[in-house]
């Protein structure tokens, strides 16, 4: 294998795939990136056997065909330090590879490409397409609610579902819920559901860009889903199990709620949360007709209290919440004026938008 690529293009290729690697894997080959050349393409692949990312770079000039695997972290570090000049990679028979850039020469030892897991070619019976910014927005509006605990593994991911032309994502940790949907089109007429692992969701959020190029989503056999956009392809295994039916816990829309501005509320919660502790996390909302008071009393630390202007047509109430849940939900909202649907101290608060919502359960008042 011998190929010459501009340093910036080579670095982008490596950075696109490298985070699919699990550096703690017991299999040395999985710490490597597979580099392949055809006459017209330079192909870079990385995988941890659960998530695989492949990037295809068109070549201006034909390359000598071949393949090699090289240590991912070391290779990316080397390429990052090279000047913005063409880089020539030449693989030898013993799997060592020469890297030439101007008067700079590196020799990096690799492993046999035959040992690298095969990234299979697929036939797509059913596909969906959605604009990259829409899919990126769905992830931003839901992924923060994924569970970080291992007791319910099915919640350590995000539900991706399709029905009647709408692609929906939903995540919950049992104490909060986030749901968002967007229009999608494609060849499939059948509904489907898939629970994406947290790593897959994070990788998609990193790789998707804010242009109008479409993402192809293809549910596959063997409990897998493929995403293809630009030169990148992400293949992921799914989490086995039944995602909880979340629709019944979403209250019907109501106008009884707190109408206020998002950023001042976010900032007040962030400041008041400075007085929370590991054993006392709840902050208090005191709601009245023309204001909401956010406060925290801590025997060890002291207290904090901030009053905000708000409109609330219901009876005064006092409710306790986890502040981190509110900060995450408010960061995912673009609108400045918001309505917090809140009907009782023991009922969930709902932030409802046109195509998305966040639901937060209250905590017990001490």
Q: Tens digit of pLDDT for each residue in 288-306?
A: 989 999 999 988 889 999 9
Domain ranges of the chain: 2-115, 128-248, 251-360
Return the pLDDT at 63.
Answer: 83
Total residues belonging to the chain: 366
Which residues are paired to 309 by β-bridges?
291
Query: Above 80 in pLDDT, residue 151?
Result: no
pLDDT digits (tens, 9 = 90+) for 190-244: 888 999 999 999 999 999 988 878 999 998 888 999 999 989 999 999 999 999 9
Strand order in the sheet with 104-109: 2-6, 86-91, 96-101, 104-109
Could you check whether 2-115 and 251-360 share the same CATH topology?
yes
The CATH homologous superfamily for domain 128-248 is: DNA Polymerase III, subunit A, domain 2 (3.10.150.10)
| N-term to C-term CA, the chain | 68
179 near 172, Cβ under 8 Å? no
- Classify domain 251-360 at the CATH class level: alpha beta
Mean pLDDT of 271-294: 93
pLDDT digits (tens, 9 = 90+) for 71-118: 999 999 999 999 999 999 999 888 999 999 999 999 999 999 999 998
As a whole number of angstroms, the distance between CA 276 and CA 326 comes to 14
98 near 105, Cβ under 8 Å? yes
The CATH homologous superfamily for domain 2-115 is: DNA Polymerase III, subunit A, domain 2 (3.10.150.10)
Query: Above 70 in pLDDT, residue 318?
Result: yes
Q: Which of 214, 201, 150 is nearest to 171 (CA)?
A: 201
The pLDDT-based confidence of 366 (bands split at 50, 70, 90) is low
């Amino acid at each position: 294998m011998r190929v010459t690529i501009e340093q910036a293009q080579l670095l982008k290729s490596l950075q696109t795939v490298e985070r699919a690697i699990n550096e703690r894997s017991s299999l040395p080959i999985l710490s490597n990136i597979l580099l392949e050349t055809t006459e017209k393409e330079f192909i870079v692949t990385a995988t941890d056997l659960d998530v695989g990312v492949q990037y295809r770079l068109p070549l201006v000039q034909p390359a000598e065909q071949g393949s090699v695997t090289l240590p991912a972290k070391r290779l990316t570090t080397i390429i990052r330090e090279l000047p913005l000049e063409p880089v020539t990679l030449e693989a030898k028979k013993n799997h060592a590879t020469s890297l030439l850039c101007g008067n700079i020469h590196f020799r990096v030892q690799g492993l046999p490409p035959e040992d690298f897991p095969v990234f299979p070619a697929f036939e797509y019976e059913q596909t969906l397409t959605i604009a990259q910014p829409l899919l990126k927005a769905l992830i931003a509006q839901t992924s923060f609610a994924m569970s970080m605990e291992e007791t319910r593994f099915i919640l350590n991911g995000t539900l991706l579902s399709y029905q009647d032309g709408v692609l929906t994502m939903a995540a919950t940790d049992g104490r909060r819920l986030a749901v968002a949907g967007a229009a999608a089109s494609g060849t499939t007429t059948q509904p489907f559901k898939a629970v994406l692992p947290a790593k897959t969701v994070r990788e998609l959020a990193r790789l998707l860009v804010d242009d109008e190029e479409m993402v192809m989503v293809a549910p596959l056999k063997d409990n897998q889903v493929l995403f293809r956009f630009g030169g990148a392809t992400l293949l992921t295994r799914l989490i086995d199990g039944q995602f909880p039916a979340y629709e019944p816990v979403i209250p019907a829309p109501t106008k009884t709620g707190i109408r206020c501005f998002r950023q001042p509320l976010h900032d007040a919660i962030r400041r008041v949360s400075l007085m929370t502790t590991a054993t006392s996390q709840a902050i208090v909302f005191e709601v009245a007709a023309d204001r909401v008071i956010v406060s925290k009393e801590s025997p060890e630390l002291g207290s904090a209290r901030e009053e905000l202007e708000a409109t609330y047509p219901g009876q005064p109430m006092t409710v306790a919440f986890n502040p981190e849940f509110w900060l995450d939900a408010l960061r995912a909202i673009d609108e400045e004026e918001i309505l917090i649907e809140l009907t009782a101290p023991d009922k969930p608060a709902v932030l409802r938008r046109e195509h998305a919502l966040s639901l937060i359960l209250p905590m017990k008042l001490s």
